[in-house]
Amino acid sequence: MPAPLRLGLAGLGTVGVGVVQIVQRHADLIAARAGRPVVITAVSARDRSKNRDADLSGYAWETDPVALARRDDVDVFIEVMGGHDGPAKASTEAALAAGKDVVTANKALLAHHGHALALAAESAGRVIRFEAAVAGGIPVIKALTEGLAANRIKRVMGVMNGTCNYILTRMQNAGLPYETVFEEARQLGYLEADPNLDVGGIDAGHKLSLLSAIAFGTQVSFDHVELEGIGNVSIDDINHAAEMGYRIKLLGVAQETGRGLEQRMTPCLVPADSPLGQLQGGTNMVVLEGDAVGQIVLRGAGAGSGPTASAVMADVLDIARGIRLPVFGQPAATLRAPVPAKSATPAPYYLRMALLDKPGALAKIATCLGEAGISIDQMRQINQPGEADDNAVVIFVTHKAAPADIAHAQSQFPATGVLVGQAVAIRIEAV
């Protein structure tokens, strides 16, 4: 039997404990499939006394993850601590410098430092694998770097944050406002310590930037992802969208156009009968479109101990088998600096606004839309409970329009003197 592959595990939270449980529970299965035993030799976490649902007695312990990364009895350094700087970055760099391969679930680390780390790894003849960093247990990194490697990718799209999808589907199914469901999610432990990482779209934006780098052969460019969270999505918009046959999702879309690389993570309306529209709860879905293969839909658990640890161990088994690929699917030195482009791809839009209920109000809004080059596909007036008697809620669905034209029209609405509050505009995405 070949020598064991020895793992050093940094981080003993939900994912780290899941890795320990898989290694211990499936030792024989892993050895058979990898062609060699895979064992944990040492671990690291801040609190050694904490009660964890795993037997750690057989492992050496390091309080400092950098020391763990440098141990002679570690072949692969597994980083599941989180954070884009500090111990995660320092220990990953130390592992590469010490000649270790790295497996990480840390999307923030790679979104901020991925290109530099990839250059360091490949110059040292090491690999960094990060299947667990994007969409939990869904093997989307492997799909892009291996299964679809011969395709020119046309578009990457998906729901990549389970917490946001839980909140939006819970709002719709229970008819509850955002604030109520947000607090539910917090009580259930679904939200990050900084909730804005979830509901602000940052976590999902990290993931989209990593998929973009692989799909389009560019350096990671998280700073150029257009981000809009779900905090302004109202139960009224969810209900109106449902009446028209749509669902609202926090949707990531990346595509290359003649102007450059568009990356956006924003609330969108999608058809209710589409795979994305039917996605419920904390599940993730990624849609990949290749020129040869067409559209591929990957769906599964986007977070949690088992799914994320499963993805970590898939990377470990590839290393054990001797499968060694460039970090982002092609040599890091060949990745192009992206030309970032603000989203300009035309699409229909859902517009909701409250207007003073007086003659000529609709005509003034229609004039703003027309002057911006936007034509109206549908219009309806809603009897909104609680609205003042002299206000009318109006919903427009436009024909395809450029985002800049929608923004220009919105900027002109207040000058009409008939707008009450602010107009809401949500893109309708073709899926």
Structure tokens at 89: 């970055």
CA 76 to each of CA 40, 54, 263, 323: distance values in angstroms, whole numbers, following the listed order: 10, 20, 33, 14
Residue tagged active-site, from 89, 100, 107, 207: 207
Round to whole Å and give the CA distance between 237 and 234: 5
207 annotated active-site? yes
Q: Which of 187, 200, 422, 185 is nearest to 282 (CA)?
A: 185
Query: Could you tell me how far CA 365 lies from the centroid of its own chain?
Result: 36
Q: Which of 367, 384, 378 is nearest to 421 (CA)?
A: 384
CA 199 to each of CA 21, 82, 194, 334: distance values in angstroms, whole numbers, following the listed order: 30, 18, 10, 34
Contacts of 72 (CB under 8 A, 6+ apart): none
**Residue type at 277?**
G
14-25 and 27-34 helices, crossing angle to 10°: 80
Backbone angles phi, psi at 131, to 5 degrees: -55, -40
Contacts of 116 (CB under 8 A, 6+ apart): none
3-state secondary structure of 379: strand
**Residue type at 190?**
Y
Q: Do 202 and 135 form a contact (C-beta atoms < 8 A)?
A: no
Q: For the residues of 217-231, what is the DSSP string, one character each?
A: TB---GGG-EE--ST
| 328 HSE (CA, 13 A, CB side) | 30
Catalytic annotation, residues: 207
